[in-house]
């Protein structure tokens, strides 16, 4: 039995990771400030005597240091996530991601603890060379477009992790996660799939931002967790960066149509210009597709769930919750005006 620290363990991915760790018999320690993480995500784990929750920030070294000292290994997932959250809280995004990761990595290096850092496909920025492979160049926009602060902050985390690895021998693994989705994911901070599913189930307009031609690839959280656990077990993963995702690509407009069909919904599909959905000058990525050849070559990893199954599972799991949840918040810009965009269907 290992002692595993999961930073951000009350978040969507973190909570699924904790479940898997407990199932295989580990002692699980979580630190989470419940900023985007939620107690409800881990409520079902709290009676487990191997599950230990610390509510606190990774910015607070007095809380973090003893947890790292006592852990055998660390999954560092705590971060500010979600495009909407990043636009709404730019200072918190940069500080939590960079200073928080610095705390985790410096303490992990101090005690020589194996640490997996959850990074993101955002670090590729708006590169047009798809699929993205781990050694590809990152392409960012200007500093006055706050979206890029997230990409840069996570890139700094990666630089720092690799620097600790190379200069101080920290055993570190970097996992770049591409659009992960599944049960318990909230649509509050962006996250298109739970938003579309909730909109479809409520017969509300399904809001496609931009022209809907932009593409994404969605991986189920169960596949992502399996990849994280497998990488952590492999000594040759240390010091390396891995994409984790599902290469099945779909445009956001097609995604809206598919969700509508699978949910048997009568929602209209409504196109919303980016400027209204986010903020003036917002830049989106046109295509985002992972190459997963590297992780396949090292550990034989391939995702199991296909997009249709992922969507169907999400529809099932959210149907029951619908009555109790509050209405989806639209973005700040949308709150202040009526939806004036054109109706496509
Ligand atoms: N998106 C959308 N409608 C929504 C939420 C998001 O069309 O209600 C789009 C968003 O503009 C982006 C894609 O869906 O092109 C994926 O957005 P998400 O925030 O889930 O993740 P991203 O890949 O942008 O980090």
* Residue-wise pLDDT tens digits, 64-110: 999 999 999 999 999 988 777 888 888 988 999 999 999 999 999 99
Check whether 182 has a pLDDT greater than 80: yes
Mutate to test the pocket of ligand 1, among 93, 190, 210, 279 (most ligand atoms within 8 A of CB): 190
Is 252 a pocket residue for ligand 1 (Cβ < 6 Å)? yes
Check whether 333 has a pLDDT greater than 50: no
Domain positions in the chain: 3-181+218-247+289-305+328-341
* 3-181+218-247+289-305+328-341 placed in CATH 1.10.287.90: no
Residues 6+ apart with CB under 8 A from 43: none
167 touches 284 (CB < 8 A): no
Check whether 327 has a pLDDT greater than 60: no
Catalytic positions, written as ranges: 150
Per-residue confidence (pLDDT) for residue 192, from 0 to 100? 96
What mean pLDDT, rounded, does the chain reach? 92
What is the Cα–Cα distance from 265 to 277, expressed in whole angstroms? 23
The two most distant CA atoms of the chain are separated, in Å, by 58
In this structure, the residue with its CA closest to atom 13 of ligand 1 is 192
Kindly give the distance from the C-alpha atom of residue 327 to the centroid of ligand 1, in angstroms, as a whole number: 18
What is the Cα–Cα distance from 325 to 116, expressed in whole angstroms? 34
Kindly give the distance from the C-alpha atom of residue 276 to the centroid of ligand 1, in angstroms, as a whole number: 13
CA distances 70 to 19, 111, 180, Å, are 20, 9, 30
Which residue, chain included where needed, has tokens 């070294």? 61
Is 147 a pocket residue for ligand 1 (Cβ < 6 Å)? no
Q: Of all residues in the chain, what percent carry a pLDDT higher than 90?
A: 82
Is 85 a pocket residue for ligand 1 (Cβ < 6 Å)? no
Per-residue confidence (pLDDT) for residue 321, from 0 to 100? 77
Q: What is the CA radius of gyration of the chain?
A: 19
Check whether 180 has a pLDDT greater than 60: yes
Strands (E) in the chain, as ranges, are 3-7, 27-32, 51-55, 73-76, 114-120, 172-177, 180-181, 206-209, 215-217, 219-220, 241-244, 249-251, 269-272
Q: Which atom of ligand 1 is nearest to the CA of 278?
A: 11
Q: Of all residues in the chain, what percent carry a pLDDT higher than 70?
A: 93
What is the Cα–Cα distance from 173 to 239, expressed in whole angstroms? 6
Per-residue confidence (pLDDT) for residue 339, from 0 to 100? 32
What DSSP state is assigned to residue 116? E
Of residues 282 and 47, the one with the higher pLDDT is 47
Of 180, 132, 174, the closest CA to residue 154 belongs to 174
Kindly give the distance from the C-alpha atom of residue 232 to the centroid of ligand 1, in angstroms, as a whole number: 30
Kindly give the distance from the C-alpha atom of residue 277 to the centroid of ligand 1, in angstroms, as a whole number: 10
Give the up-direction half-sphere exposure of residue 123: CA atoms within 13 A in the CB hemisphere: 25
- 84 preceded by a cis bond (ω within 30 of 0): no
What pLDDT digit, counting tens, does each position of 101-155 carry?
A: 999 999 999 999 999 999 999 999 999 999 999 999 999 999 988 889 999 999 9
Q: What is the mean pLDDT of residues 49-63?
A: 97
Mutate to test the pocket of ligand 1, among 13, 79, 83 (most ligand atoms within 8 A of CB): 83
Pairing state between β 249-251 and 215-217: antiparallel
Is 81 a pocket residue for ligand 1 (Cβ < 6 Å)? no
Per-residue confidence (pLDDT) for residue 237, from 0 to 100? 98
Is 191 a pocket residue for ligand 1 (Cβ < 6 Å)? yes
């Amino acid at each position: 039995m290992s002692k595993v620290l999961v930073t951000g363990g009350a978040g969507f991915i973190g909570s699924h990771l904790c479940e898997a760790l407990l199932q295989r018999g580990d002692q699980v320690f979580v630190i989470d400030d419940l900023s985007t993480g939620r107690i409800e995500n881990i409520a079902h784990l709290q009676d487990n005597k191997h599950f230990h929750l610390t509510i606190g920030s990774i910015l607070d070294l007095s809380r973090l240091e003893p947890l790292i000292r006592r852990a055998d290994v660390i999954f560092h997932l705590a971060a500010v996530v979600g495009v909407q959250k990043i636009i709404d809280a730019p200072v918190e995004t940069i500080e939590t991601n960079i200073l928080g990761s610095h705390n985790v990595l410096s303490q992990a290096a101090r005690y020589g603890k194996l640490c997996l850092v959850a990074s993101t496909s955002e670090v590729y920025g708006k590169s047009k060379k798809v699929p993205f492979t781990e050694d590809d160049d990152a392409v960012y926009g200007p500093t006055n477009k706050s979206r890029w602060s997230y990409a840069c902050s996570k890139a700094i985390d990666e630089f720092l992790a690799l620097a600790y690895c190379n200069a101080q021998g920290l055993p570190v693994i970097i996992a770049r996660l591409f659009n992960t989705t599944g049960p318990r994911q909230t649509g509050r901070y962006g996250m298109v799939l739970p938003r579309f599913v909730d909109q479809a189930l409520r017969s509300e307009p399904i809001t496609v931002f931009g022209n809907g031609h932009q593409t994404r690839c969605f991986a189920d959280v169960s596949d992502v967790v399996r990849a994280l656990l497998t990488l952590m077990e492999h000594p040759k993963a240390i010091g390396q960066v891995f994409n984790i995702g599902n290469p099945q690509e779909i445009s956001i407009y097609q995604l809206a149509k598919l969700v509508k069909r699978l949910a048997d919904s009568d929602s209209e599909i409504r196109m919303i210009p980016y400027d209204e959905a986010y903020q003036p000058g917002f830049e989106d990525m046109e295509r985002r597709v992972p190459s997963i050849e590297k992780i396949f070559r090292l550990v034989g990893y391939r995702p199991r769930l296909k997009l249709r199954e992922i969507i169907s599972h999400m529809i099932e799991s959210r149907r029951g919750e619908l009555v109790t949840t509050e209405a989806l918040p639209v973005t700040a810009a949308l709150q202040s005006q009526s939806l004036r965009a054109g109706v496509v269907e």
